[in-house]
Amino acid sequence: MNYVLFVLGGLIPACFSIGVQGQRPNIVFIMTDDQDLHLGSLDRQPVVKKEIAEKGTTFSQHYVTVAKCCPSRAALLRGQAGHNTNITEVVAPGGNWDKWLISGQNEDYLPHWLTAAGYNADYIGKIMNGYNVANYEKAPGGWNYIETSVDAYTYEYNNFVTSLNGEIPVSYPGYHQSDVIRAMSLDRIEKLSAEDKPFFLGIAPTTPHVEFSAPGWPVPPVRYENEFPDLKAPRGLNWNPDDSYQQQKVSWIKNQALLNDTTIERLDGLYRARAQSLLGVEDIVEDVIAKLEEKGILNNTYVIYTADNGWHIGNHRVSAGKSLHYLEDSNVPFIGHISISRQHFSTSLA
């Protein structure tokens, strides 16, 4: 969380006030849901690699303080660790959206700071667990424009439902969620780029979070559902390890049984579905970068790509998921198209 706190919190009022042309940079912040750094998901994302990583900076030591959606998102939005936000779970009493509201944190977090610093602050996609069809009317605070998914539809890839600024939720049946988010993002950049304020645009697809209906995998856009037919989860050193390794583990993990062939086959299917669904995110990144370029603002925009937490598949004999203290879950992608930052810093320091 430190980098996020540093980049998104501390620097905005302080250093961003002196831009190259006097115009402070825009920020496009793309955050996926449950995307690993350690299982190679980025290896099949050539657009993220070419357009963001190769042109910018990869922060390989970015860790989330709680490897689970709601606590991690709350921490990110507040620039604090989980023990400070006290949002520690996805459900009560540790979380979630209701606790965020009751605790008052909804009135004092990133978008409030951005708008106070003269930015337009917009957000599209999933924000926090528990914002739902019953409580949508109190929209997440601080944003000029927020089009956010409402539970339980957040995890329905082909029946996405969003509320715009707390209005009655709208569904998009027949459209894949990542395509809906892509269209919404391009529309916002079109409008935001016409204003004379700098902007922050959060883009948060649910991909590659699992869909809860069977088989419990993310659902890729139809056009990608046959990609990578032979792909299997990586058999790294800690993949389904033998007893001599497992016996060194703590707590319940120590007593996990070896994964059997049925489970392994399911895990390979899950891994493949994650890779396929991330191609929908590739399309978001590609079109967003193209739109920024078309508007002539790519050279004055920080494009950041990250995830709320990581993911394990078969590592340490644990079938699949997040929330463990291992690297697979806590060390997540954080990549910035921020070669521009050097210009800003050298200008500020000059």
Ligand X SMILES: *[C@@H]1O[C@H](CO)[C@@H](O)[C@H](O)[C@H]1NC(C)=O
The residues that touch ligand X, with contacts defined as CB under 6 A, are 20-21, 86, 93-94, 260, 262-263, 296, 299-300
**Nearest-approach distance from CB 291 to ligand X, in angstroms:** 15
Which one from 53, 66, 69, 121 is the annotated catalytic residue? Answer: 69
**Nearest-approach distance from CB 293 to ligand X, in angstroms:** 10
End-to-end CA distance of the chain: 29
DSSP codes joined into one string, 243-265 = HHHHTTS-GGGGGPPPP-HHHHH
DSSP structural state of residue 10 = I
Q: Which is nearer to ligand X, 93 or 174 (CB)?
A: 93
Q: Which is nearer to ligand X, 25 or 205 (CB)?
A: 25
DSSP codes joined into one string, 83-121 = HHH---SSSTTT--HHHHHHTTGGGSSHHHHHHHTT-EE
Whether the upstream peptide bond of residue 198 has omega within 30° of 0, thus cis, is: no
Tokens of 238: 């800690």
Question: Do residues 145 and 162 touch, judged by C-beta distance below 8 A?
Answer: no
Q: Which is nearer to ligand X, 18 or 20 (CB)?
A: 20
Q: Which is nearer to ligand X, 244 or 260 (CB)?
A: 260
d(CA 25, CA 201): 12
166: left (phi over 0), alpha (psi -120 to 50) or beta: left
d(CA 5, CA 225): 37
Tokens of 241: 């390890």
Q: Which is nearer to ligand X, 11 or 20 (CB)?
A: 20
Q: Using alpha carbons only, what angle is made at residue 34 by residues 32 and 36, rounded to the nearest 5 degrees? A: 95
**Nearest-approach distance from CB 117 to ligand X, in angstroms:** 18
DSSP codes joined into one string, 272-294 = HHHHHHHHHHHHHHHHHHHHHHH
Whether the upstream peptide bond of residue 208 has omega within 30° of 0, thus cis, is: yes
Q: Which is nearer to ligand X, 22 or 229 (CB)?
A: 22
Tokens of 45: 């994302």
Q: Which is nearer to ligand X, 244 or 262 (CB)?
A: 262
Question: Do residues 335 and 57 touch, judged by C-beta distance below 8 A?
Answer: yes
d(CA 274, CA 199): 31
Q: Is 70 a catalytic residue?
A: no
Q: Which residues are catalytic?
A: 69
